[in-house]
Amino acid sequence: MTDVHKRYGDTRAVDGVSLTVRRGEFLGLLGPNGAGKTTLVEIMEGLRQADAGTVGVLGTSPWPRNLALLPRIGLQTQASAFFVRLTAREHLRTVAALYGAARDAAERTLAMVGLTEQGDTQVEGLSGGQRQRLAIASALVHGPELIFLDEPTAALDPQARRDLWQVLRDLKGEGRTIVYTTHHLDEAETLCDRVAIIVNGRITALDTPARLVAAGSGNTRLLVPADRLTEARARELPGVLDVQVDGDVVVLETTEAGPLLSAVEAVAGLQGVRTRTASLEDVYLQLTATGDR
Ligand SMILES: Nc1ncnc2c1ncn2[C@@H]1O[C@H](COP(=O)(O)OP(=O)(O)OP(=O)(O)O)[C@@H](O)[C@H]1O
């Protein structure tokens, strides 16, 4: 897409975005609530019309609504619709039939998202996380080339989240293209080939997680139990750039971890002290700190 704009009244939800997703790529869209991620994805999906700019999906235009694209893309949105009176299996078979997918596709996809045991449960009797997995299954059942997932792991418990990561890795391994939004930065760092950080309708960073982290702050953080070091005392230590109290730890930021560790050892001892190098979350917080929320 090139120079895409979308306004709602005075709100510039998408404000001049140019972005190319490569085939087989796993692209993460990150950004604060209201940054414009969903609007951007809905434009790519053909669910919303851009005010300006050009959009191409799998070599064709998604708007006006392009029926030929539907079998080739899979969508899971934050407001996925279900046939609530059907069982999970019946729901998925119905979706599979709508797309003309192979007969065994529903069963395979149920297993893929770990819902085989819930196959005979009515959709309205599924838990929030199970419904979310069914929504993901509905996006995948017809084997689409391009998959859009909007916060797919939001309602999932830690084990289900890890299981879905594996499903996503397998899909990528099959050569499928995945565009997904998430607020889990650890997840984006592990899964995505590239991430785009969106603030106020604009892409403020777009690169591999490793390069974004390397280009961000190279600072190291020392985490010291708060019962052993006060914030004021921490600020007096040599080489400390910043101090923050985060629950029961004092976080000291420095470029020179060695001398600071020695100073911390002298005043507080090293028991329970941890170090943490920069992560995608640190870069994200830096880039989004000045954005209006
Ligand atoms: N249908 C709409 N009508 C009016 N304003 C809208 C509409 N949809 C979104 N907006 C506004 O556009 C901006 C971008 O919203 P969008 O849902 O795209 O953000 P998002 O990044 O997906 O947020 P979240 O992380 O909360 O899902 C917000 O300010 C939102 O209030």
* pLDDT (tens digit per residue) in 87-98: 999 999 999 999
User: Residue 293 class from Cβ within 10 Å (0-12 exposed, 13-18 middle, 19+ buried)?
Assistant: exposed
- From 214, 236, 253, the end of a domain falls on 214
Q: What pLDDT score does 256 carry?
A: 84
pLDDT band at 293 (very low <50, low <70, confident <90, very high): very low
Domain at 75, CATH number: 3.40.50.300
Same domain, 209 and 231: no
Q: Which two tokens stand for residue 118?
A: 């819930």
User: Which residue is listed with tokens 């609007």?
Assistant: 39
Domain at 241, CATH number: 3.30.70
Q: Is the ipTM of this complex over 0.85?
A: yes
Is the Cβ atom of 36 under 6 angstroms away from ligand 1? yes
Give one DSSP letter per residue of 195-242, joined into a string.
EEEEETTEEEEEE-HHHHHHHS---EEEEEETTT--HHHHHHSTT--E
Kindly report the average pLDDT of the chain as a whole number: 92
Is the Cβ atom of 117 under 6 angstroms away from ligand 1? no
Q: Specify the DSSP class assigned to residue 102.
A: -
Residue nearest to atom 29 of ligand 1 (CA): 34
Q: Of 79, 103, 75, 77, which is closest to residue 89 (Cα–Cα)?
A: 103
Tell me which of 74 and 103 has the higher pLDDT: 74
Is the Cβ atom of 8 under 6 angstroms away from ligand 1? yes
Ligand 1 atom having least distance to the Cα of 78: 27
Residue nearest to atom 12 of ligand 1 (CA): 13
Same domain, 99 and 120: yes
Same domain, 99 and 125: yes
Q: Count Cβ atoms below 10 Å from residue 201 Cβ, excluding itself.
A: 23
Same domain, 135 and 261: no
Q: Which helix (H) or strand (E) holds 8?
A: strand 2-8
Residue 290 lies in a domain: no
Q: Of 134, 124, 132, which is closest to residue 157 (Cα–Cα)?
A: 132
Is the Cβ atom of 34 under 6 angstroms away from ligand 1? yes
Q: What pLDDT score does 291 carry?
A: 44
Same domain, 191 and 247: no
Is the Cβ atom of 35 under 6 angstroms away from ligand 1? yes
Provide the number of structural domains found in the chain.
Answer: 2
SS3 145: coil
d(CA 279, CA 277): 7
Is the Cβ atom of 286 under 6 angstroms away from ligand 1? no
d(CA 136, CA 149): 8
Look up the pTM and report it. Answer: 0.86
d(CA 140, CA 111): 12
Q: What pLDDT score does 278 carry?
A: 82
Percentage of the chain lying above the pLDDT 70 cut:
98
Backbone angles phi, psi at 114, to 5 degrees: 70, 35
Residue 291 lies in a domain: no
Domain boundaries, position 241: 219-277
Same domain, 206 and 237: no
Same domain, 207 and 237: no
Supply the Cα-derived Rg of the chain in whole angstroms.
23
Q: Which two tokens stand for residue 177?
A: 């293209």
SS3 101: coil
pLDDT band at 84 (very low <50, low <70, confident <90, very high): confident
**140 within 8 A of 147, measured Cβ to Cβ:** yes
Q: What pLDDT score does 22 carry?
A: 95
**101 within 8 A of 110, measured Cβ to Cβ:** no
- Distance (angstroms) between ligand 1 centre and the Cα of 133 equals 24
Q: Is residue 290 over pLDDT 70?
A: no
- Distance (angstroms) between ligand 1 centre and the Cα of 183 equals 15
User: Residue 31 class from Cβ within 10 Å (0-12 exposed, 13-18 middle, 19+ buried)?
Assistant: buried
Backbone angles phi, psi at 29, to 5 degrees: -110, 120
